[in-house]
Structure 1
């Protein structure tokens, strides 16, 4: 199965055109890394097609640790697929071993295939990799009912979080203005502004997404 999936990815991108190389100098979470290019510029890369648990979510820290273990300080090749609304490169990351980091995280049981955004021909093979991890009950699949991060980000309570138990979901939520790139606390008068449509479950999540704290409410 591993060879089959790798072949499918490499057939779709036979020469890894429109790619760049660099060293992984930061791992923000399980699916977001920063690459230092040979030109000394830093590029934030969101791994294409997968979604790992958030930092405050169950298995979020373990997903980040796995990505650090596999990729930190490694010279990698990045195939850019798209740019997201935060301006980050969305891509497939090839490790020095030839393995695809996106797929390795799925295989270890620390990610879901992101159905809303994984649209390439090999995504069905990645879904099978995810299913095998689920059957084997490894990683987050040790939890009988893990909450997908896209549901958790919209207020679904995970089975366990790193947040204090006396903090309500509403109190733990920050809201970002997609135009100004500033995020606000629930007490801020700008919390429900017209463009405040991006919700975050933690301050760290908002900062990692490229938002700056409001200077009035100081979240």
Structure 2
């Protein structure tokens, strides 16, 4: 039984891209009209509210929306989404194309492919895509900043409530 798990986990599947949520998240329609949300492996694109977030989403849409893609699931993230390597147009690797176009960061903590890091360096040197912004913020830092802002707002709201109760 344990020998079957890796075969299932790394099996290749295909489907038609019916939705692009952001630069690194797509939904594919599988056989039997089943939908599957996939998070792209090895790349982290700017968030929708972040500089170049819309550009990354548009890039992903222009590459795969409405097309048949092949994907290899590699793991699952903490939100239950499948992490997958997505291939399209005769084996173009979507994560690689995003990094090459300066539309995403090489997600090095979750990647063993150093060639993606070299592509990112080249995009940075040539100021391609998000690398035009000298103050580009990595999506993981942006998300952390947003979480801290949200936490601070909750703390401030609690302080206001306490002051209101004290004056009543």
- Normalization by structure 1: what TM-score? 0.63
Q: Does the CA-based 8 Å contact 2:108-2:117 persist in structure 1?
A: no
List structure 1 segments (4+ residues) > 3 angstroms apart after TM superposition.
Answer: 185-189
> In structure 2, what is the equivalent of residue 215 of structure 1?
none
> In structure 2, what is the equivalent of residue 146 of structure 1?
136
> In structure 2, what is the equivalent of residue 130 of structure 1?
120
Of the three residues 154, 158, 167, the one matched with 1:186 is 154
**Partner of 2:154: helix, strand, or coil?**
coil
How far 1:96 sits from its partner (Å)?
2.5
Structure-to-structure mapping, 1:82-121, within 5 angstroms: 82-118=75-111, 120=112
Where in structure 2 are there 5+ consecutive unaligned residues? 1-9, 159-168
**Partner of 1:85: helix, strand, or coil?**
coil
Partners of 2:37 and 2:79 in 1: how far apart? 10
Partners of 1:102 and 1:57 in 2: how far apart? 19
Q: Does the CA-based 8 Å contact 2:105-2:120 persist in structure 1?
A: yes
**Partner of 1:81: helix, strand, or coil?**
strand
Equivalences, count: 147
Q: Does the CA-based 8 Å contact 2:75-2:84 persist in structure 1?
A: yes
Where in structure 1 are there 5+ consecutive unaligned residues? 1-16, 157-168, 175-184, 190-219
Name the larger-Rg structure. Answer: 2
Structure-to-structure mapping, 1:63-78, within 5 angstroms: 63-78=56-71
Give the aligned CA root-mean-square deviation in angstroms: 2.1
How far 1:94 sits from its partner (Å)?
0.4
Q: Does the CA-based 8 Å contact 2:86-2:95 persist in structure 1?
A: yes
Higher relative contact order structure (alpha carbons within 8 Å, sequence separation ≥ 6): 2
How far 1:115 sits from its partner (Å)?
2.1
Say if 2:43 is the partner of 1:47.
no
Higher helix proportion: 2
> In structure 2, what is the equivalent of residue 26 of structure 1?
19
**Partner of 1:39: helix, strand, or coil?**
helix
